[in-house]
Chain A
Amino acid sequence: MAKNVSFKCTCPQSVGRVRVFQNAGDNNPLEVLLFLQSGTRTARLDPGAYLAIIDALGAPNTAFAIELSGGGEMKALGVTLPFDGRLSRNRKVVVA
């Protein structure tokens, strides 16, 4: 049964996107969550393991963080955006 998996973005000076892929080799995401400001958005996911690609665009040298606030497990991402304000990282999301 699908679960609500909540992603919390702390990104007051950036735009964040989380793309959730069913398989590591998939080109098209199962879910896309776009954060135009800080907040929490929820994806409906069946139990299993997923690949999450997290992108950010924002002011250089500002903090950007995304964590899973409920419904599954993921290593939190908390970084300072580099000189060009761009970022793309991968995370494994496990929904029990």
Chain B
Amino acid sequence: MSLRLRVCSQVLAGALAAPCALIAAEPCDGAASACRQLTGRMLSETRAPANVGDTSASGYDIVLEGTSEEKTATASATWTSHDSTETYQLKLTGPLNRMTKEAVPFTLAGLPGNGSAEFTYQHILLAHSRDAEAQELLCELADRGLEDCGDNAFLDEARRPTVRDLRNEYSQASAQRKAVLCRIVGKRLCFTHDFESVQMRDAYFAMTNAPKSLALWGLTAGVSRSTFTYLTAVDLDAQEESHSNWKLGAHVGLYRPTTGYLRAGVAHLDTYRPAEATASEICQAVDGAEATRCREIVIGAPTNVRSTIASLEWRYFLPGGKVAISPSISRDLENRVTALILPVYFLGSEGGLTGGARIGWESEKEAITFAIFVGAALKVVD
């Protein structure tokens, strides 16, 4: 078991708010990772200082991580399966006490006001076995020892085994060896001419079971508790209410080096939101005095909003790895709102912090927004 504590600062994007309302409801994914709705404002945030994975061992492993933002603290525990293909994560978030700098994400009474709990499961579809005998034979044909062998043996024109090599090998091979050679070209029975068009490097990848692409799927379930303070619209009486919000989501992803990462997701949310997007300034007479006291507060009780959000994201690193784009589209199927976001990332050579610019559009407001952000490095898949 390993334990890590990560403390991050939060910075405001110095530009216009991004249209993250739809995306914010999704788990932090791709373009949405920099967007999070917080007290009605859209913020861009700086998170992990570098794109560096956890130090962990094979087998089931627990990683604890704490993050501190301006108003909340997050603790997450992650279990990774022995072959690294399955990940289970539980994330608890609680309000941060400004005085004591402490946060209690969970109490005996359940979630505190403005606290949340989220469970995520992700499965990467990847087979690990290989055809050792065929791989060894290919390495022999490439005139390499197994330890020094690799796909580059077939990429290097000068050292690439020729079709003639294969045909000669086949002609002289024993029955068992022939069977292996046929397996390489993907046939149960084969002949010398089957090696005419063989793509040796692809065959090598196939024999080692090196992936051509990476597919994954995942599920997310979350519950949070929101506390609202507001004035009633009729007589401006101060009220406080707490409500539970929940969400269920699922996503699938496919990565290919040449086409990039395509991720589709759907999430259903049942949430409560303030009656107004921005607080109003209310001035009331102070008891027993002629003076008035003014404060910013929402007028009206919070409203229940149900939404089903479908999203599609395409993430692509341009060759050379200096620039990446991650356009995404989200559609709230119940409220009929669509959001488009096009972030452009400028990447460092070693990962680390990423800077970028983002253009967004939301159908409800029919406004184009622009933001500059600094955030954690963009992952190839997540």
A42-B55, A62-B317 known, 10 other contacts, Cβ within 8 Å: A9-B53, A12-B321, A36-B380, A39-B54, A44-B58, A57-B214, A59-B257, A60-B319, A61-B321, A86-B210
What is the distance, in angstroms, from A2's C-beta to the closest C-beta of chain B?
11
With contacts A19-B128, A63-B349 taken as known, whether A38 is within 8 angstroms of B149 at the C-beta atoms is: no
Name B136's contact: one of A24, A33, A85 (CB within 8 Å). A24
Is the CB–CB distance between B380 and A89 below 8 Å? no
Is the CB–CB distance between A57 and B57 below 8 Å? no
Name A92's contact: one of B147, B208, B320 (CB within 8 Å). B147
With contacts A12-B377, A15-B214, A84-B258 taken as known, whether A36 is within 8 angstroms of B350 at the C-beta atoms is: no
Q: Is B239 an interface residue (CB 8 A)?
A: no
Cross-chain pair count, CB within 8 angstroms: 170
B-side contacts of A79, CB under 8 Å: 152
**Closest residue on chain B to residue A69 by CB atoms:** B55
A-side contacts of B230, CB under 8 Å: none
The interface centre, meaning the residue of B54, B317, B349 with most chain A CB atoms within 10 A of its CB, is B317
Q: Is B124 an interface residue (CB 8 A)?
A: yes
With contacts A42-B56, A59-B319 taken as known, whether A90 is within 8 angstroms of B350 at the C-beta atoms is: no
B-side contacts of A26, CB under 8 Å: 132
Q: How far is the CA of A15 from the CA of B255 in the complex (A)?
A: 10
A sample of 11 inter-chain contacts (CB < 8 A) reads A24-B136, A35-B53, A36-B381, A38-B52, A41-B55, A53-B210, A58-B317, A59-B320, A60-B319, A61-B321, A62-B321
What is the distance, in angstroms, from A92's C-beta to the closest C-beta of chain B?
4
What is the distance, in angstroms, from B369's C-beta to the closest C-beta of chain A?
28
Q: Is B150 an interface residue (CB 8 A)?
A: yes
Chain B contact residues, CB within 8 Å of chain A: 50-59, 82-85, 124, 126, 128-133, 136, 139, 146-152, 155, 204-205, 208, 210-214, 255-258, 317-321, 324, 347-351, 377, 379-382
Is the CB–CB distance between A32 and B128 below 8 Å? yes
Name A37's contact: one of B56, B136, B213, B379 (CB within 8 Å). B379
What is the distance, in angstroms, from A20's C-beta to the closest C-beta of chain B?
9
A-side contacts of B319, CB under 8 Å: 59-62
Is the CB–CB distance between A37 and B210 below 8 Å? no
With contacts A12-B321, A57-B257 taken as known, whether A33 is within 8 angstroms of B84 at the C-beta atoms is: yes
**Closest residue on chain B to residue A62 by CB atoms:** B321
The interface centre, meaning the residue of A33, A37, A39, A58 with most chain B CB atoms within 10 A of its CB, is A37
What is the distance, in angstroms, from A8's C-beta to the closest C-beta of chain B?
9
Would you list the 8 A-B pairs with minimal beta carbon distance, nearest first? A39-B53, A85-B257, A34-B84, A62-B321, A12-B351, A89-B150, A59-B317, A88-B210
Q: How far is the CA of A6 from the CA of B37 in the complex (A)?
A: 39
Is the CB–CB distance between A86 and B51 below 8 Å? no
Q: How far is the CA of A39 from the CA of B48 in the complex (A)?
A: 13
Q: How far is the CA of A84 from the CA of B201 in the complex (A)?
A: 11
B-side contacts of A90, CB under 8 Å: 139, 146-150
Is the CB–CB distance between A42 and B377 below 8 Å? no
